[in-house]
Structure 1
Amino acid sequence: MALISTQNDRTDLPLVVMPSIIESMVQPFREALPLLHDIARVRIYDDATLDGDVIVDRCADADAVMVIGFHVDDSMFDRLSDHVRCFSFGGTGVASYIDLSRARERGIAVTNVVRYGDHAVAEHTFALIMELSRRVGRLDAIVKSGRWDGLDGISLYGRTLGLIGFGGIAQAVADMATGFGMSTLVWNSHLHEEAVAAHHVTAVDDLGELLHRSDVASIHLPLTDSTTGIITADHLERLRPGTIVVNTARAEVIEPGALTRRLLRGDLLAGLDVFDHEPLPLDDPLRSVPGIVLTPHVAWRDDEAYRALSVQIVRAIAAFFTGSAFNRVV
C-alpha cells in the first residue's frame, strides 16, 4: 500500500481522504486532483480494502471522505460522523451505500456522480446477454479442456427486449438492441415521448405485461424511495420460461428475496451484476443455480467511466468546500 497526498504543508486546508481505491482508478484521480488546489488537502490510500476498522482509522481526521467500493454501514457512520462533513460517493445509487436519512439528521452532506458510465453499464449489460445467449465463456472452457462438442446458442435477432427504466443507460442499451435486430419495449414511471421516438422503442404501461412479453428483460432503475421493491414477486411470475433476466442496476429495486426464489425454479436465464448483499456470501443460493452468470458489481468499471467519475467526485468536494453545490444529494 502506498500513500498519495497533496498540499501536506497546507494544514489550514480541510482534509479529504480516500481510504480505499482499486488500482486502475488511481491515475484518473491523480489527473483530477488539481481541481482541489488551494481548496483541500487530499490523502489517498491506494489499496482496495473493505475492512471497516481500517477505513475508519484512515479517515480519523478527515473533513470529507471519498466513498468507492465500500459501504458506510451504521457503525462506520457513527464513528465518522463526529468529524466528517461530507461523503462523496463514487456512483449513482448512493442510498445503497450511505444512510441518507442519518446524514440529513447529522447535517452531513452527501454527493454522488451521474451519467458517468452510461455506455460502460450498457456494454456490460449486453456482455451478460451475449454470454447467456451464445455462451462464449463456456465454449472457451470446453475447447481448452480438449472437447469439441459445443453448445447451442439462442438467437437475439427478432426477439423482444424489455427495459425497466429508461434513463441514459437503458437508452444506450436500446440503441445496441436495434443493431441486433431486436424490438424494444419500455416501462418507466416517467417516460418522455421524445425519448421513445428518438430510440425507436414502444412504451408499455403495465410492468407485468412488459415482463410477460419480453424475451430479454433488463433492469435499469435508479434506487430511490419510490423504486425500492417496485418489482414484486407477482411481477416476476409473469416471466415466461426461457426468458433472460439481467440486472445491472440495483438489487434493492426488486422485492427482497423474490428474484432468488424465482430463479431457483430453474426455468430462467439470468445475468446479475448486483446483489442484496455485497460481496455475495459464499453460501448464497445464487452461486449454485444453473443457467445464470454472476459478475461482482463491475458493470460501471471501464477507462472512460473512471475518468468521468473521478472528475465528478473531485468537483463535488471542491463545490462543498467553496460553498456551492454539485451533484448534491443531501
Structure 2
Amino acid sequence: MTTCLILDDFQDAALQFADWGRLAPRVAVEAVHDHIPDRDALVARIGEAEILVIMRERTPFPADLFARLPNLRLLVTSGPRNAAIDLAAAKAHGVTVCGTASHPAPPAELTWALILGLARHVAAENAALRANGPWQGSVGTDLAGARLGILGLGKIGTKVAQVARAFDMTVSAWSPNLTAERAAAAGVALAPSKEALFTQSDVVTLHLVLSPSTRGLVGAEDLARMKPGARLINTSRAGLVDQPALLRALEEGRIFAGLDVFEQEPLPADSPFRRLPNVLALPHLGYVTAANYRSYFTEAVEDIEAWLAGAPIRVLG
C-alpha cells in the first residue's frame, strides 16, 4: 500500500476538511501535527512515504532533502506556488510536484484585522480590560481621510483597496510593473515611485509574491521615509522586508507594524517580534480559514487521485 504523510498539520484539520477515504484502500494517510525542524528527524519521520502533502512553506524542500528521500514520488503543496520547494531538484529526483487553489479573500481580510487592530489598539485594550486595568487607555487613529499605500496590486491587494475605499481612505499603489491603467481599473492611484508611497502613506501594506527580484525590496531607506507613527502591514512574506532594518525601526519606536509572516516559523520564543509593544503579531493566519482548508485538502486528494491514475493535474514547474 502507498503511504501518504500530511506534514505540519498544526490544527489537526487536514483530515476534517476533505474526504481522504476516497484514496482507500490504495493509500494509507497519516497526519503529522508537530513541526519537525531538525532535518535528520524529518527524514526519519517521513521514512519510506511515497506521497507528502505539505502546508505552504512550513517545511522547506531544498535539493538536499529530496536527495535523502529516494522513495518520494509525489509532493503536494497547498496553494498554486511554493517558493520553499526546489522544483528543479524535485524533477531531477523524479518527484512530481502539484499544487492547489488558494483564495485571495482570507489574507485580505486578515490585513484589515491588523490595520484595525493597530489603529484602535485592540490587543492592548482587550488585555487591559481582562486584567481590570485602565478603562479607555488609548486614543485611536482615524482611518477616514488617511492614505493607504499598497505595495503589490494583485488579487489580494485589489481586495484590500476595495475595503479601504469603504473606509473613505485615499489609496495609492506601486509595484515594479504596475501601470496607471491597471491601478485605475482597481480604483486606486498609481504612486509615482516606491519612495513616494512610503513617504506619503499613513499605512503601507505588502502584497507581492516573494521572488529573487522582490526579496528585500523594502529596505532601511524605505522604512526611514515612513511618517512617525505610520503602520507597516505584512501578510505576504517576511523576505520582502529587510528584517534587521525593520527590527531597528521598531525598536526605535518610529513606526508600528502588523506582522503575520516571519523569516523563521514558528517564531522563536526569544524573538523580539514577540515582545515589542508597537508590533501586533499573528502566527501566519492569513490563509488559515475553513474555505481555504477545504480547497487545499480536497484538491490535494484530487491531485493524489490524478497522479495514481497516471495523469497528474496542477503540476508545478
2:263 to 263, 266, 276: 276
1:99 to 75, 86, 97: 86
Note if contact 2:66-2:93 (Cα within 8 Å) is conserved in structure 1.
no
Specify the alignment match of 1:133 in structure 2: 119
**Residue type matched to 1:303 in 2?**
A
Q: Structure 2 CA distance, aligned partners of 1:42 and 1:289?
A: 45
2:13 to 21, 24, 27: 24
1:314 to 287, 297, 301: 301
Q: Cα offset for 1:71?
A: 1.2
Note if contact 2:75-2:97 (Cα within 8 Å) is conserved in structure 1.
yes
> 203-212 or 264-273: which moved more?
203-212
Would the alpha carbon gap of residues 313 and 188 (structure 1) be closer, same or farther in structure 2, given more than 3 Å must change? Answer: farther
TM-superposition CA deviations, 1:58-111 (whole Å, max 9, x none): 43222221012631355644432x11122211245521x333443344343323
Q: Cα offset for 1:277?
A: 1.3
**Residue type matched to 2:14 in 1?**
M
Secondary structure in structure 2 of the residue aligned to 1:237: helix
Secondary structure in structure 2 of the residue aligned to 1:94: coil
Q: Cα offset for 1:183?
A: 1.6
Specify the alignment match of 1:297 in structure 2: 284
Q: Structure 2 CA distance, aligned partners of 1:219 and 1:132?
A: 16
Note if contact 2:107-2:156 (Cα within 8 Å) is conserved in structure 1.
yes
Q: Cα offset for 1:261?
A: 2.4
Percent same amino acid at aligned positions?
30
TM-superposition CA deviations, 1:146-181 (whole Å, max 9, x none): 232421100000111111111211111111111111
Structure 2 portions without partners, runs of 5+: none
Secondary structure in structure 1 of the residue aligned to 2:160: helix
Specify the alignment match of 2:105 in structure 1: 119
Secondary structure in structure 2 of the residue aligned to 1:110: strand
Q: Structure 2 CA distance, aligned partners of 1:308 and 1:27?
A: 12
Specify the alignment match of 1:327 in structure 2: 314
1:242-253 equivalences under 5 Å are 242-253=229-240
Secondary structure in structure 2 of the residue aligned to 1:257: helix
Q: Structure 2 CA distance, aligned partners of 1:328 and 1:205?
A: 38
Specify the alignment match of 2:249 in structure 1: 262
**Residue type matched to 2:168 in 1?**
G
Q: Cα offset for 1:124?
A: 0.7
Q: Structure 1 CA distance, aligned partners of 2:313 and 2:241?
A: 30
**Residue type matched to 2:222 in 1?**
H
Note if contact 2:5-2:32 (Cα within 8 Å) is conserved in structure 1.
no
> 216-225 or 61-70: which moved more?
61-70
Would the alpha carbon gap of residues 221 and 103 (structure 1) be closer, same or farther in structure 2, given more than 3 Å must change? Answer: same
Secondary structure in structure 2 of the residue aligned to 1:142: helix
Would the alpha carbon gap of residues 93 and 212 (structure 1) be closer, same or farther in structure 2, given more than 3 Å must change? Answer: farther
Note if contact 1:93-1:222 (Cα within 8 Å) is conserved in structure 2.
no
Q: Structure 2 CA distance, aligned partners of 1:276 and 1:93?
A: 18
Aligned-pair Cα RMSD in Å: 2.6
Structure 1 portions without partners, runs of 5+: 1-10
Specify the alignment match of 1:186 in structure 2: 173
TM superposition score normalised by structure 2: 0.87
Q: Structure 2 CA distance, aligned partners of 1:92 and 1:238?
A: 34
Note if contact 2:250-2:278 (Cα within 8 Å) is conserved in structure 1.
no
TM superposition score normalised by structure 1: 0.84
Q: Cα offset for 1:272?
A: 0.4
TM-superposition CA deviations, 1:234-270 (whole Å, max 9, x none): 2222212111001001111223523222222211010
Note if contact 1:18-1:65 (Cα within 8 Å) is conserved in structure 2.
yes
Would the alpha carbon gap of residues 210 and 113 (structure 1) be closer, same or farther in structure 2, given more than 3 Å must change? Answer: farther
